[in-house]
A and B are shown apart, each in its own frame.
Chain A
């Protein structure tokens, strides 16, 4: 085997591992959708089906002292941080065994033991909080990087502006990761900004910014990895705009009738399962291996959700606990 062959083999193995991880996130969320439609889960649930490539690419970059702040479309980020799917299902199902015992729900999953400092239901609110995690690292002797993930819509929130300036002014190790799925909830981002290339705003804060293909975990790993390295070495914050797409509605129940002509076809071609499957086929990976990635993920999520469903509901007599020290 030549060095080139070995590199190609390793790239293929990575792509297959990425596909498996994309499928774990997707199978998780498809199962969540079934549970919501069946009425086992209730309330407003926001899925990120189609956007998994970003979280998969980022997952290997997150170190033990790092802190991740996601949004209400953050199930995949919890999985990327290594939180057990059963505890996530249980949380979404309001079970006592949920990762937050039912206090968080789909939109506030939090698992600090995994570096996952939580989802947030307020658009853009996680960005200033991430600055604080980075600030803490400056005083606690760690080389923490704080990763704050938000959508294109959050780029129009004042809190995000304040956070970007705060991080840049103090050269804080924050990575601002914008998952641009082109829809700010139900409204197209390009109609809500004067400059749709959102990464260009970084220059105004005096930090690097770039746009990457969020569907390709390999590219995310590489480019976001650079941002992590810069932050860890004291070079301050970076804005990374990862282009992606949401294949489903804003929330479960969104009629999703607002898509533009040709959009769905383009999305279906670009999304990470399609991209990675093509890449693996081109590299000669067997259909069996490719199908196996999906099958294993579905089995895992079927069994994790069954276990979560069997767990007791959160106990109403504990509802007032944990308000104060």
Chain B
């Protein structure tokens, strides 16, 4: 079965003031508009417009290609696999990443195997949109950062946008990709980040990173909502004479190993900061890749993340676990001074 033919992407561009959530909506609108094979479905996404309002108006404008589903993650993800095998390009929403666990089979055993096992005779260009992370008062089953689970699965692409522009660009790239892509958004960002977002234009290829700050004393790799805390910490440390290079790796698969290695080689120090648990977190893989590349670091690598814990509901308890900007700047300063 040949890959779905994707209509040529629109090259006309315009810039609009959008929040992160509105940028997601704009990306979905563009994809539904320019790729007739797209379908958009999930729990409460059509008529209600999504529990965060992100998919508002799309049912009205695209009719039965946009629909609500039963609360059945296996049926949502499984039907996306089947529809993609038969030439559709489904975009499905898993409301919270935590909910994907009830249907992990369809992601790991099914979706990720389609192309490989069929030797490319079948493909599964499915985009899974979900969101994750801690927010005040969210409970243990609505707070986890689970990207590492998916990054352990060859065959899946994974990205985590932080800015409104990336929320748009990465999602458009994901839908156009002939591989299954998991786009992990963050619900705390939906109403934020209002600013100019460039719409239209060429479709990006999955991959690449964002150099959010140039620096010379240490390379700090981060992704997702944690990027804001790292940048705040970097600003604080700059005032104290410590210069951090902050790399936001928006694509985790494919991961920009060469660029990270080059930066670490230049600064001689590597820290990874993520919201996910430290043990088995993707930060461990980043450290291993830099070490494996033979980069000589003047200080042992630093990993900051959730310190291998469940996530409590009370904000004061969460504050005791998740590194904030202050914790990050303190940890990084102490770490660099230990060199």
B257 within 8 A of A: no
Q: Which residues of A lie under 8 Å from residue B177 when comparing CB positions?
A: 325
> Can you list, as one digit per residue, whether each of A159-173 has a CB less than 8 Å from chain B (1) or not (0)?
100110110011000
B326 within 8 A of A: no
A133 within 8 A of B: yes
Q: Is the pair A135, B85 in contact by a Cβ cutoff of 8 Å?
A: no
B80 touches which one: A104, A113, A132, A158 (CB < 8 A)? A132
A31 to B75, CA, bound (A): 37
A120 to B87, CA, bound (A): 20
Pick the most buried of B90, B119, B121, B155: most chain A CB atoms within 10 A of its CB: B119
Q: Which residues of B lie under 8 Å from residue A104 when comparing CB positions?
A: 117-118
Instruction: State the Cβ distance, A54 to closest chain B Cβ, in Å.
Output: 21
B105 within 8 A of A: yes
A324 to B177, CA, bound (A): 10
Q: Is the pair A103, B117 in contact by a Cβ cutoff of 8 Å?
A: yes
Q: Is the pair B122, A122 in contact by a Cβ cutoff of 8 Å?
A: no
B77 within 8 A of A: yes
Interface size class, chain A: 35 or more
B79 touches which one: A100, A110, A113, A135 (CB < 8 A)? A135
Q: Which residues of A lie under 8 Å from residue B115 when comparing CB positions?
A: 322-325
A-B pair count, CB < 8 Å, reads: 152
A135: nearest residue on chain B (CB-CB)?
B83
Q: Is the pair A112, B121 in contact by a Cβ cutoff of 8 Å?
A: yes
A144: nearest residue on chain B (CB-CB)?
B86
Q: Is the pair A169, B70 in contact by a Cβ cutoff of 8 Å?
A: yes
Q: Is the pair B70, A166 in contact by a Cβ cutoff of 8 Å?
A: yes
A260 within 8 A of B: no
Q: Is the pair A131, B75 in contact by a Cβ cutoff of 8 Å?
A: yes
B331 within 8 A of A: no
A131 to B110, CA, bound (A): 14
Instruction: State the Cβ distance, B168 to closest chain A Cβ, in Å.
Output: 22
Q: Is the pair B74, A132 in contact by a Cβ cutoff of 8 Å?
A: no
A189 to B111, CA, bound (A): 29
> Can you list, as one digit per residue, whether each of A52-68 has a CB less than 8 Å from chain B (1) or not (0)?
00000000000000010
Q: Is the pair B85, A132 in contact by a Cβ cutoff of 8 Å?
A: yes
Q: Which residues of A lie under 8 Å from residue B90 when comparing CB positions?
A: 132
Of residues 137 to 159 in A, which have CB atoms within 8 Å of B's CB atoms? 137, 139-140, 144, 146, 158-159
B177: nearest residue on chain A (CB-CB)?
A325
Q: Which residues of B lie under 8 Å from residue A144 when comparing CB positions?
A: 86
Of residues 30 to 89 in A, which have CB atoms within 8 Å of B's CB atoms? 67, 69
Q: Is the pair A136, B87 in contact by a Cβ cutoff of 8 Å?
A: yes
Q: A128-B106, A165-B72, A324-B155 are in contact. Are A136 and B117 (CB under 8 A)?
A: no
Q: Which residues of B lie under 8 Å from residue A118 when comparing CB positions?
A: 117-118, 122
Q: Is the pair A128, B70 in contact by a Cβ cutoff of 8 Å?
A: no
A130 to B80, CA, bound (A): 10
A128 to B82, CA, bound (A): 8
A165 to B84, CA, bound (A): 20
Q: Is the pair B78, A127 in contact by a Cβ cutoff of 8 Å?
A: yes
Of residues 154 to 199 in B, which have CB atoms within 8 Å of A's CB atoms? 154-155, 157, 177-179
Q: A128-B82, A325-B178 are in contact. Are A135 and B39 (CB under 8 A)?
A: yes
Instruction: State the Cβ distance, B76 to closest chain A Cβ, in Å.
Output: 8
Instruction: State the Cβ distance, B223 to closest chain A Cβ, in Å.
Output: 20
Q: Which residues of A lie under 8 Å from residue B75 when comparing CB positions?
A: 128, 131, 159, 162-163, 165-166
Q: Is the pair B79, A159 in contact by a Cβ cutoff of 8 Å?
A: no
Q: Is the pair B121, A132 in contact by a Cβ cutoff of 8 Å?
A: no
Instruction: State the Cβ distance, A15 to closest chain B Cβ, in Å.
Output: 35
Instruction: State the Cβ distance, B71 to closest chain A Cβ, in Å.
Output: 9
A223 within 8 A of B: no
A140 touches which one: B82, B87, B179 (CB < 8 A)? B87
Q: Is the pair B155, A129 in contact by a Cβ cutoff of 8 Å?
A: no
B88 within 8 A of A: yes
Q: Is the pair A132, B83 in contact by a Cβ cutoff of 8 Å?
A: yes
Q: Which residues of A lie under 8 Å from residue B103 when comparing CB positions?
A: 159
Q: Which residues of A lie under 8 Å from residue B85 when comparing CB positions?
A: 67, 112, 117, 129, 132-133, 136
Q: Which residues of A lie under 8 Å from residue B39 when comparing CB positions?
A: 135, 139
Q: Is the pair A322, B119 in contact by a Cβ cutoff of 8 Å?
A: yes
Instruction: State the Cβ distance, A108 to closest chain B Cβ, in Å.
Output: 5
Instruction: State the Cβ distance, A318 to closest chain B Cβ, in Å.
Output: 9
Q: Which residues of A lie under 8 Å from residue B72 when comparing CB positions?
A: 162, 165-166
A126 to B86, CA, bound (A): 14
Q: Is the pair B155, A323 in contact by a Cβ cutoff of 8 Å?
A: yes
A272 within 8 A of B: no
Q: Which residues of B lie under 8 Å from residue A128 when comparing CB positions?
A: 74-75, 77-79, 81-82, 106
Instruction: State the Cβ distance, A297 to closest chain B Cβ, in Å.
Output: 28
Cβ contacts A to B, 7 pairs, < 8 Å: A112-B1, A117-B82, A139-B37, A162-B72, A165-B75, A321-B119, A325-B179
Known: A129-B85, A131-B78, A165-B70. 13 other contacts (CB 8 A): A103-B118, A108-B117, A120-B110, A122-B110, A129-B78, A129-B79, A129-B82, A132-B79, A133-B83, A135-B79, A158-B74, A162-B78, A324-B157
Q: Which residues of A contact B (CB under 8 A)?
A: 67, 69, 100-101, 103-104, 108, 110, 112-113, 117-118, 120-122, 125, 127-137, 139-140, 144, 146, 158-159, 162-163, 165-166, 169-170, 321-325
Across the A-B interface, give the 7 residue pairs with the lowest CB-CB distance, nearest first. A128-B78, A132-B82, A132-B79, A136-B86, A325-B178, A132-B83, A129-B82
